[in-house]
Amino acid sequence: FTSSLHLPGTSEEVAPPLQQSFMIPKKEINMVSDMAKWKRSQAYADYMGFILTLNEGVKGKKLTCEYKVSEPIEKLVALLNTLDRWIDETPPVDQPSRFGNKAFRTWYAKLDQEAEKLVATVIPKHLADAAPEVAVYLKESVGNSTRIDYGTGHEAAFAAFLCCLCKIGVLRVDDQMAIVFKVFNRYLEVMRKLQKTYRMEPAGSQGVWGLDDFQFLPFIWGSSQLIDHPNLEPRHFVDEKVVNENHKDFMFLECILFITEMKTGPFAEHSNQLWNISAVPSWSKVNQGLIRMYKAECLEKFPVIQHFKFGSLLPIQPVTS
């Protein structure tokens, strides 16, 4: 998406042949001192470039607006629909503890087994060699099967999965809106269903002091959607009526709706950070602040990034520019 991603300018051009050998991504950040390596890496530059490109791409646009839907986008939605169907086929089991239903492990085992095949349905035959590398990010994006938890590191793996599909030319510049509104939005729906069905624990959440127990990116992209909105201001998102009337158009409000469904009590108490954000005067200020917060609270936190995996598409090597 950025110049470093060698993306062809239009969808008519053919992507240059990939002169690369793919590899199974692995962990590289093993101690706090390795974090500097991550911040200097090509992976960090490409990941952040991808997030910011999409942030620009959805600016001022509603979820319900018109946009191009390519075949790879349709296939990604079908892949997510399969994951959704597997939840229906794997009901929670009876167990003494209320949280962390062990049926999640059964569901996850199926994904673990099928991930490469699923990814192969999305990428063209001549790129088949990339499937094992790309599939790792898909497997990492749904939560941890040992702890039965889910957090922003898993969400980042899904964004990395989409970023890899851009780097191999499966997704293109004109897919931007569909990536966020169709694919990422469908991913969120499936994750919410997983979280509800298997009562997943929030991974490394700071509770009230974190933005949200489970997600971060839809708040960034969702606030960008609301930039220059004629009448919705940040102070309105704590108003139930506004949320109920507009959530189908805006990702940010969809997130707020989910929080209020899942949590009881005053909003200012259960979601203090978001409550504070509602006092920021403009959506563009909210958007800039959330990007800074995302870097500081997610991408620069060792407990999150120690799980991130690096391969040929998202390399740990320092930026070459």
Side-chain half-sphere CA neighbours of 27 within 13 A: 11
Confidence of residue 11 (pLDDT cuts 50, 70, 90): very low
Instruction: Report the pLDDT value the prediction gives residue 5, as an integer from 0 to 100.
Output: 47
Confidence of residue 1 (pLDDT cuts 50, 70, 90): very low
Q: What is d(CA 319, CA 321) in angstroms, rounded to the nearest whole number?
A: 6
Confidence of residue 13 (pLDDT cuts 50, 70, 90): very low
Confidence of residue 320 (pLDDT cuts 50, 70, 90): confident
Instruction: Report the pLDDT value the prediction gives residue 186, as an integer from 0 to 100.
Output: 98
Residue 318 has phi, psi (to 5 degrees) of -60, 155
Confidence of residue 211 (pLDDT cuts 50, 70, 90): confident
Confidence of residue 9 (pLDDT cuts 50, 70, 90): very low
Q: pLDDT tens, 88-141? A: 999 999 999 999 999 999 999 999 999 999 999 999 999 999 999 999 999 999
Could you tell me how far CA 299 lies from the centroid of its own chain? Answer: 13
Lowest mean pLDDT among 12-21, 23-32, 104-113: 12-21
Give the tokens for residue 279.
């006092």
Q: If we measure between CA atoms, which residue out of 176, 177, 209, 214 comes closest to residue 195?
A: 214
Give the tokens for residue 227.
């930039």
Q: pLDDT tens, 182-203? A: 999 999 999 999 999 999 999 9
Instruction: Report the pLDDT value the prediction gives residue 294, as an integer from 0 to 100.
Output: 96
Provide the residue type at 321 as one letter: S
